[in-house]
Amino acid sequence: MLYGGEFSNVVEILKEFYEKFNKIGVKVVTFFGNSKSKGRRSQWIERRYSDITKVNGFMRYNEPLTKMPSDLEDTMAAVIQFVLKEPIVHSLTENDNEIVAYARKHKSFGILSQDTDYVIADAAKY
């Protein structure tokens, strides 16, 4: 896989992130996917618009200077899986449900997320 420029910095940061967890014996599994159930889709859309509003001014200011790759999620998944040799899961259904099921099945110690749904679901100890 070829990458360079500022993306090399992103890869290095990811490498350090995974190395810190691996060093203490914690295996990080990264989930990719955006499938949302019909009931939660409107809530998800509302959150995304809220996020967009928060950063809109910054993005407008930097728009002439930057361009996000259209396939960023696929690129990040490939880097994590093939360059860093770390496990990833591509969710085929709603990501939250797959993470909870995975955590329970593998008796996961914790879930690293900004989403409080995992605490409510009692999916992992932390």
pLDDT digits (tens, 9 = 90+) for 42-88: 776 677 667 666 666 655 665 555 555 567 788 889 999 999 999 99
Q: What percent of the chain has pLDDT over 90?
A: 25
Distance CA 73, CA 50 (A): 21
Residue 82 carries which side chain, given as an amino acid letter?
A: F
Confidence of residue 41 (pLDDT cuts 50, 70, 90): low
- Report pTM: 0.65
Average pLDDT, the chain: 78
Taking the mean position of all CA atoms in its chain, how far away is CA 50? 19
Distance CA 47, CA 41 (A): 10
